[in-house]
Amino acid sequence: MHVENLSQNRSFGGWHKQYKHQSASLNCEMRFAIFLPPQTARGEKVPVMYWLSGLTCSDENFMQKAGAQRVAAELGIAIVAPDTSPRGDAVADEAERYDLGKGAGFYVNATQEPWSQHYRMYDYVVNELPALVEELFPVTDQRVISGHSMGGHGALTIALKNPNRYRSVSAFSPICNPVNCQWGQDAFRAYLGEDQAAWQQHDASVLMQQATEAQYLPTLVDQGEGDDFLNSQLRPETLQAAAKASTYPLELRRHEGYDHSYYFIASFIESHLRFHAQNLGLLSSI
């Protein structure tokens, strides 16, 4: 597996690095960022938090805006942030839209043309990227996953479908019920076609309601009450109802006045990292 280092920056005793590589899953060149905490310089292998970003974002938004490196360095957790979609001149796009095409991969494997040639973000996040990271960097196969908005949808659905691959999952302002909101319906219709049974396989509320105890993962979700997308696109009440129906271990916290921005993420990212650290066995309590 070959990767090319694009940049590196010292941060809280560790390193933030950005790489590109040719992705077999996505059939294009992809970029990702990784924060390696200072423990890795001492020869230790550390667990990884995979961070999935939202619409219009790339690997850079979280690493530059969330302020997660200080706590990750303290706890000894690496952070890996992939891009949100395939990129390149040959990759299909809807240039006039921000919620479809480049920057809007929705963490599914597209089955419809022209998207199916490149838009296989589910396979990339679940299989290809972790295999690459675990081969090339001083990390263990202990993983947690988190994300924001579209990335919160991705984190929740990927964890719900692959509970044995992760120790815990968290999300900020996730799209909780995409089969019943415009963002999700438009993306799923384009990428997956008209079969709504296929849509439901990537809907956190549907998957959580169907979950059995063997599939449970500790789950933390934060939602701002001042979020402009709260009622029209995010619908956290559907996730809460699903968790109640299946007794799923969901903690959903609502925060008065907070919006959809990285100001919200930066305000609570420390508690998410400590939540994951506890479930990774790095802390005895949050």
- The answer to whether the beta carbons of residues 259 and 210 sit under 8 Å apart is no
Residue 76 has a pLDDT of 98
Tokens of residue 280, six digits: 């990774």
**ω into residue 114 within 30 of 0, thus cis?**
yes
Determine which one of 149, 168, 205, 246 is catalytic: 149
Residue 159 reports pLDDT greater than 50:
yes
Residues 233, 174: Cα–Cα separation, whole Å:
9
Residue 286 reports pLDDT greater than 90:
no
pLDDT digit string (tens) for 3-30?
Answer: 999 999 999 999 999 999 999 999 999 9
Query: pLDDT band at residue 283, thresholds of 50, 70 and 90?
Result: confident
Residue 45 has a pLDDT of 98
pLDDT digit string (tens) for 210-250?
Answer: 999 999 999 999 999 999 999 999 999 999 999 999 999 99
Query: How many other C-beta atoms lie within 10 A of the C-beta of residue 234?
Result: 26
Determine which one of 118, 260, 272, 276 is catalytic: 260
Determine which one of 227, 246, 272, 276 is catalytic: 227
DSSP notation for 186-226: HHHHHHH-S-HHHHHTT-HHHHHHH--GGG---EEEEEETT
- What's the start-to-end Cα distance of the chain, in Å? 37
pLDDT digit string (tens) for 251-279?
Answer: 999 999 999 999 999 999 999 999 999 99
Residue 285 reports pLDDT greater than 80:
no
**Which run of H or of E encompasses 230?**
none
Query: pLDDT band at residue 34, thresholds of 50, 70 and 90?
Result: very high
Please state whether 283 falls in left (phi above 0), alpha (psi between -120 and 50) or beta: beta
pLDDT digit string (tens) for 65-85?
Answer: 999 999 999 999 999 999 999
CA angle 216, 147, 101 (to 5 degrees): 120
227 is catalytic: yes
Residue 284 reports pLDDT greater than 70:
no
Residues 178, 88: Cα–Cα separation, whole Å:
27
pLDDT digit string (tens) for 81-101?
Answer: 999 999 999 999 999 999 999
- The answer to whether the beta carbons of residues 47 and 62 sit under 8 Å apart is no
Tokens of residue 90, six digits: 């040959």
Q: Is the pTM of this model over 0.85?
A: yes
Widest distance between CA atoms in the chain? 52
168 is catalytic: no
Residues 7, 18: Cα–Cα separation, whole Å:
5
Residue 264 has a pLDDT of 98
pLDDT digit string (tens) for 199-219?
Answer: 999 999 999 999 999 999 999
Mean pLDDT value of segment 42-69: 97
DSSP alpha helix (H) spans, 33-137: 60-65, 69-75, 121-123, 129-136
Q: How far is CA 119 from the centre of its chain?
A: 16
Average pLDDT for the chain: 97
283 vs 180, more confident: 180
Residues 6+ apart with CB under 8 A from 275: 168, 170, 218, 220, 286
Query: How many other C-beta atoms lie within 10 A of the C-beta of residue 121?
Result: 29
149 is catalytic: yes
Handedness of CA 257, 263, 264, 268 (dihedral sign): negative
Residue 86 has a pLDDT of 97
Length of the chain: 286
Query: How many other C-beta atoms lie within 10 A of the C-beta of residue 26?
Result: 23
